[in-house]
Amino acid sequence: MAAANVVEITDANFESEVTNSETPVLVDFWATWCQPCLMLSPTIDALATEFAGKVKIGKVNIDQNRQLPVKYRVGAIPTLMIFKGGQLVDTVQGAQSKDRLTALLNKHL
């Protein structure tokens, strides 16, 4: 479901894609049955293009990857988390506007 410039993040590759990333990473926790997640998807894809080379954008399907939502206490979806230097630095829940997410990402560059 991820666009070409959006990384599919899994329980198995989280460390290499997020923890060890040299750039900030926006992680979108989502599921196929979640309407707000599906509505947010085009915004996430647009941000991946807009922030290419500056921020890595990734998606975690919570139905296929059970460890990460538990580890990061994802209680509702969509949940968006920003990691920088391998550390969680920001979290927002629910569908967000592109402007809000752009401002959030710029804050962590």
Which residue in the list 3, 8, 23, 34 is annotated as catalytic?
34
Burial 49-66 (b: 16+ CB within 10 A, else e): eebeeebbbbbbbbeebe
Q: Output the pTM of the full model.
A: 0.95
Domain ranges of the chain: 7-107
pLDDT band at 32 (very low <50, low <70, confident <90, very high): very high
pLDDT above 90 as % of the chain: 95
Which CATH class name applies to 7-107?
Answer: alpha beta
pLDDT band at 2 (very low <50, low <70, confident <90, very high): low
pLDDT band at 4 (very low <50, low <70, confident <90, very high): confident
Which residue in the list 27, 37, 62, 80 is annotated as catalytic?
37
43 noted as active-site residue: no
37 noted as active-site residue: yes
Q: Which two tokens stand for residue 96?
A: 């967000």
**What is the model's pLDDT at position 72?**
98
